[in-house]
Structure 1
Amino acid sequence: MTTTGIASKRLGKELNKIHQSLPPGITLVSAEDFKEWLVDICVLDSNPLYQGETYRIKLVFTPNYPIGPLGPGNVFQRG
């Protein structure tokens, strides 16, 4: 199995697990391919500074995931 195949297999398992149950406040917005996911994180605690805020993060995965780090481009897109 190639490194890319390992990454695809692992991300496929993780995506299936995510679809089964996400923690409160977390929403998977997009995961059309295994390379890039968009996730919304809604602040649920009562901290007045962040209460009700939603932050979108873009996760970019490299072909050697999970052995290597996430790729460049992992950024908060709004907040």
Structure 2
Amino acid sequence: MVGGGLSFSVGGRMVCGVTATALAVRVGADAVPALLAEPHVGPMVLGGRQVRAFVLVEPAGYAADAGLARWLRRGLAVAAGLH
């Protein structure tokens, strides 16, 4: 992950990453607009540009195990569906 974060990939595809302040999750470009309306979710921006297929989730959005599991399942499903 750019900027010194740690990322996790499956089959060579990034699923999620951890930055100093948030969890970056691959959600697919089509899902980003709806997810940005959810609490604790914001755009992922690198080099001044929004990354189309990822969102950043603040710690409050994944503090509970169920919340973290939800985001990880989503990232894994999206990464597995890429060709």
TM over 0.5: no
Q: Which has the higher strand share?
A: 2
- Normalised to the residue count of structure 1, the TM-score between the two structures is 0.29
Indicate the structure whose relative CO is greater, using CA pairs within 8 Å and at least 6 residues apart.
Answer: 2
Structure with bigger helix share is: 2
